[in-house]
Chains A and B, each alone.
Chain A
């Protein structure tokens, strides 16, 4: 297939963006290469590991198997978009630090984005539900234990369940 380009218009981390994209390119490629949003990691490029997860209109996707052209008209949120204007970090990012849920850090951005999707639902999930919802992320360092703790703790805090 020869190269074909298409103009797309989307919102990335709150900013209106336009880009000419190779129709074969993945959203991962677009975010990493065109916008240098390098929190979007490549671990498998076939939707198996979750390292490239981003929110698209609030829903978490593997950006490696989402074509860049499909992002036309969509709102994309990457890990970089969680940071406040003065570098403030969100509660879930702080929880990852506090619970020692970060080791090599390569799965961390994607895992945080899935956690954001869960937390934004604003409801209490059972332990089993949290595990199911996070199970699209492979991590070889943490055994998932502290990631689980960080997500659960932040959920309970947001819902005011810890007094």
Chain B
């Protein structure tokens, strides 16, 4: 059995030697270089361009502006599966270049040049005349009557408003003796900061266009480039090499349509569009800033009588993934702490800010910041112990969601809490840090999360797999699911080796994807790669095995039902004798003069289930009150992600998510100038993502309850680790100081405000 073993990553050797090819490493040097001209106003209209000086720059091939976009093929950008039902299709509100500017950084023109320097020089020489409109940056101000309207068909800038109504909230709050706890909790705009910026290149091959892109979702890119160019989707070929991180930003169509369009404007010549870091922050996607308003009505015995949530999600200028994020976050609210009387109103609202899209956790980190900060506030209000209160109110064993049919099969929350508490010595520290005085204080805090693996039944869960047997008994494994750094290829190889019965080194995962040959799949999002791929790997592996044993029957005369494949050998089950090895069989099968056949298997599995993934974070901090600084001393995450396919890689995945969560809790915030809408810190120096020095040792613990719906007992772990660290840190600061910050991050700016208001400084 390879599943469950910490084998080394299948791509590690190439990555430590520098052999791994990413998009830029594959681009031919003949490529023209494209650079995008971004608007320098937050709302308005481009009236004209003066290109005269820019066109004089030696090396400039062509300058294209929004006025050159004659055929208006509006396209959506969300990396969602297409829906054949028009009512469920993503909002198509983008053009490759636009004259109607909706945020500071919108795409209004592009320079195609022979080299980077010429492109950059020409960009600086383009003069633009705008008609400026008032703009709005605040999510609730954008909803007010009379606010600047971004899209005509969305009154009050509301992209979508959804509600949940369980029981009777108004009646329930009449119960005598209830304690009302109310709070506003807000998370900032943050960015993915994968170290490889988005990059793509495109050229014509025959009458088709090939796009090589740093994407998580090649088959979706193919569809949307087709939509954006107004051509058949089969005319587009998308190649996805190794990518330098994605985290959801690359689960969106970024500049592939523009790059393909630019190539067509220069006769199909190879055009490369490599996005600088500063533009990655602003002109790709961001995480939605969500302002949550929570009211809980609590009985003195520590149970909930009624609860209410209002969530205002800042979409930025275009729809992208839209309301899906806010809806997911808000949907967690009634599930995490079930209560019979709940009202939820979730709004996603356009503002003149960069476009928010998918980012690791898809609304849950924002929701957990609010819900778990609020849980702590509730505990403080009624004098409850934070752990005991959670144990009492969290989603119980047997809880089933009516929509997804997801069930909480195990006592995962309590098991995770127990393990994390032990790992960090919680009980002792919690008592020790009570009632401190002085400038330097320590605290310990907890937060839990819930995360849905995959997206059934909201949208399609289709996974396809192909296995092709080679002469030496090895086989290629191809999947629509993508390796984006998380280690998916290694997990796939382990699962395939177990199903077929070969040594894992006999499985060659085809990592580079090409929509002309890769089986269809909607790829990397929703923490679904290992879960969904497991189904098609198992199904296809069994088919391949059946074909191999069928051929073994021809060669050995033994009945197939008495044969098995073990460690690459054909074994007769009753006596365990090795009859031949797979290499002999495969070679004979290809070259036999009597019965030649190419042994392959291919199948699609449509997944119609989904799984809850659970976990918690406990964080310990030291707070310097006069300096308004919180230092993280210890942190542990504990997850129930079902059976781990590769424990070492699972641990590594948790470390990365914790790091992102630590940045979300303590330091990250993309800022904008209130007067102009201009981004203020869109670079890796001024935007504070966690560094080597901002982390203590990261501890990852696991509870492995085999997920019964899963092909290999496993479920989502990609996004979950990023969901609970930030509120755990916030709650630790609360424990240390008695001050609960409402707005993430708990950086000195926000702590100064909170400590001042509390009279601590």
Contact = CB atoms under 8 A, between A and B. Distances in A.
A51 interface: yes
A80 interface: yes
Contact of A104 (B484, B690, B692, B695): B484
A46 B656 contact: no
A41 B196 contact: yes
B247 A93 contact: no
B16 A146 contact: no
Contacts of A100: 6, 8-9, 648-649, 651-652
Contacts of A32: 24
B684 A106 contact: no
B613 to A, nearest CB: 19
Contact of B245 (A24, A78, A135, A140): A140
Contact of B692 (A33, A38, A131): A131
A46 B16 contact: no
Contacts of A107: 195, 244
B195 A97 contact: no
Interface in A94-131: 94, 96-98, 100-109, 112, 131
B18 interface: yes
Contacts, number: 171
Contacts of A38: 18, 21-22, 24-25
A16 to B, nearest CB: 21
Contacts of B658: 143
B685 interface: yes
B698 interface: yes
A43 B692 contact: no
B437 interface: no
Interface in A55-108: 78-80, 82-83, 89, 93-94, 96-98, 100-108
A104 B12 contact: no
Contacts of A138: 193, 195, 684, 689, 691
Interface string B198-233: 000000000000000000000000000000000000
Contact of B655 (A39, A43, A80, A143): A143
A141 B245 contact: yes
Contact of A97 (B9, B245, B651, B697): B9
Nearest to B487: A103
Given A24-B117, A143-B655, A102 B12 contact: yes
Contacts of A134: 692
B9 A102 contact: yes
A69 to B, nearest CB: 15
A103 B648 contact: no
Nearest to A36: B25
B17 interface: yes
B473 to A, nearest CB: 25
Contacts of A41: 22, 195-196, 244
Contacts of A89: 13, 16-17
Interface string A34-52: 0001110111111011010
B272 interface: no
Nearest to B192: A140
Interface in B17-37: 17-18, 20-22, 24-25, 29
B588 interface: no
27 contacts: A33-B29, A38-B18, A38-B22, A43-B195, A44-B277, A44-B684, A46-B685, A48-B684, A49-B684, A78-B18, A79-B18, A80-B17, A96-B12, A97-B9, A100-B6, A102-B15, A103-B486, A104-B243, A107-B244, A140-B193, A142-B659, A143-B655, A144-B692, A144-B695, A145-B695, A145-B697, A146-B652
